[in-house]
Amino acid sequence: LVLRVAAAAWTSIMGKLKKTRKFAEVKRMISPKDERLKQGAVARREAAQAKGGAAGGKGKGKAGDGLVRNVPQVSAAMFFAHNSALGPPFHVLIDTNFVNFSIQNKLDMQKAMMDCLCAKVTICVTDAVMAELEKLGPKYRVALRIAKDPRFERLPAMRSGNTYADDDLVERVTAHRCYIVATCDKDLKRRLRKIPGVPIMTIKARKYEVERLPDSNSFL
């Protein structure tokens, strides 16, 4: 009987010890505000700066103060979010699918754009858009004939031999913020929305509408 009581007591004591040990293990986690973590972060930052300085010194012949960053030059026409380079007569860059959707909705591009913007419009067609329309074949011969309208202004591609219209349009409006881009392509519109000061023209309810164009009074 004494042995049984002693064994039961020993078992209960060991159970408490095991529980205490597990609780102590949880409490042994390092705090996020621990000084050792801060020291490690500082050491990593200093190592990265030293590596960047060594790379800059190797490339330019002198040690750099930090990492070299490529900061794009802001257009001189941009006044915060307002693009002062936009104004009548508006220059509109058209995409390949915009011509096709205009035909499907039976819209005359020149007249519909003038009704939308209430001003004179110059439609611009790039060589990359013309190359895409030519590659689409005889099914899109009507769109190709409309794109060859003598009233439209023909622009060369930003890079010679480039036949991908989306990249050409994005590169052009990034360099020159004086265009409205007419497109129905969701991917292209998502890329253009990241560029400040570039309005987007789309087709909605069988008519043209423009995103992010300032009030018409500012152009007067």
Tell me what pLDDT residue 107 has. Answer: 93
What 8-state DSSP symbol labels residue 118? T
pTM for this model (two decimals): 0.61
15: phi > 0 → left, psi -120 to 50 → alpha, else beta; which? Answer: alpha
Distances (CA, A) of 208 to 26, 79, 129, 184: 63, 27, 20, 11
Contact 125, 144 (CB under 8 A): no
Contact 199, 86 (CB under 8 A): yes
What 8-state DSSP symbol labels residue 119? S
Tell me what pLDDT residue 13 has. Answer: 62
CA distance 187 to 167: 11
Listed as ranges, residues in the chain with pLDDT below 50 are: 20, 23, 61-64, 216-220
Tell me what pLDDT residue 177 has. Answer: 86
Tell me what pLDDT residue 161 has. Answer: 79
The candidate with the shortest Cα–Cα distance to 125, out of 92, 103, 102, is 92
Tell me what pLDDT residue 77 has. Answer: 62
Q: Radius of gyration (Cα) for the chain, nearest Å?
A: 32
